[in-house]
Amino acid sequence: MIGAFLALAGQTARLQLRGGGGALTGLVFFLAVVTIVPFAVGPDLKLLARIGPAILWIGALLATLLGLDRLFQDDRDDGALDLLFLSGQPMEVVVLARSVGHWLATGLPLTIAAPVLGLILGLEPPALGATALTLLAGTPALTFVGAVGAALAAALGRGGILIAVLVLPFSIPVLIFGVSAAAAVIVGPAPFLPPFLILVALSLASAVVAAVAGAAALRAGLD
């Protein structure tokens, strides 16, 4: 089962990267969000540094949504989902593997790029490190939540804006604790660790929920 999980995750990451919906598109979108906001806010570096983590988190959230509509839809269209189901492979493993592969192709590059893009917003090194750490802990939760929406969209035969409508409300807690943890390093006096640990717990819980709910949606779509 571990071998099948790794194979599916690796395949998903490669397909995301080759298909243009993974790292490159997400990074370009992430860069666009981070560079446009300073023009709207103005040249106030103190203000930009204070809201910098929120900007990076919102950019990461929106960039994570890219490519989610094809996460399971392609498998459904070409019959691969039916073959996986008939092979006896647990659909929970399929959902987790696809989600991890998507995160490797989108969430991880965004996390690596965040400290570099944070320099545009005038973030200090401690804030850059804290923001990158919160993104590393929290972007998996965004991916897992998005995977549930992608599974429902594939089961219903619809995608696009439907996934955003399903995913965004459930992503708000991740966004809140991610920004709170990073902002604690900048403005204080709230401690960094409590919201960060909650963020880690949200990622772990969302992995379980994604596996169960996503697998149930895919099975319903195959019936």
For residue 189, say if its preceding peptide bond is cis, omega within 30 degrees of 0. yes
- Is the separation of the CB atoms in 95 and 210 below 8 Å? yes
Q: Which of 156-160, 161-165, 216-220 is the least confident region?
A: 156-160
For 22-45, write each residue's pLDDT tens digit: 567 778 888 888 888 878 777 777
Identify the weakest region by mean pLDDT among 13-27, 112-126, 142-156, 173-187.
13-27
What's the whole-model pTM score? 0.89
pLDDT tens across 58-111, in order?
999 888 887 777 778 777 777 777 777 777 778 888 889 889 988 998 889 899
> In 3D, which of 193, 200, 186 has the Cα closest to residue 53?
186
Enter the DSSP assignment of 221.
H
Percent of the chain residues past pLDDT 70, beyond the cut: 92
Mean pLDDT, all residues of the chain: 83
What is the per-residue DSSP string for 125-159? HHHHHHHHHHHHHHHHHHHHHHHHHHHHHHHHT--
Residue 21: is its pLDDT beyond 60? no
Residue 173 has pLDDT above 90, yes or no: yes
| pLDDT level of residue 3 (50, 70, 90 thresholds) | confident
pLDDT of residue 209: 93
CA nearest neighbour of 218 among 1, 67, 71:
71
Question: Is the pLDDT score of 54 beyond 80?
Answer: yes
How far is residue 179 from each of residues 29, 140, 144, measured CA to CA in Å? 20, 15, 19
Q: Which residues contact 213 (CB under 8 A, 6 or more apart)?
A: 148, 151
pLDDT of residue 143: 92
* Largest separation between any pair of C-alpha atoms in the chain: 58
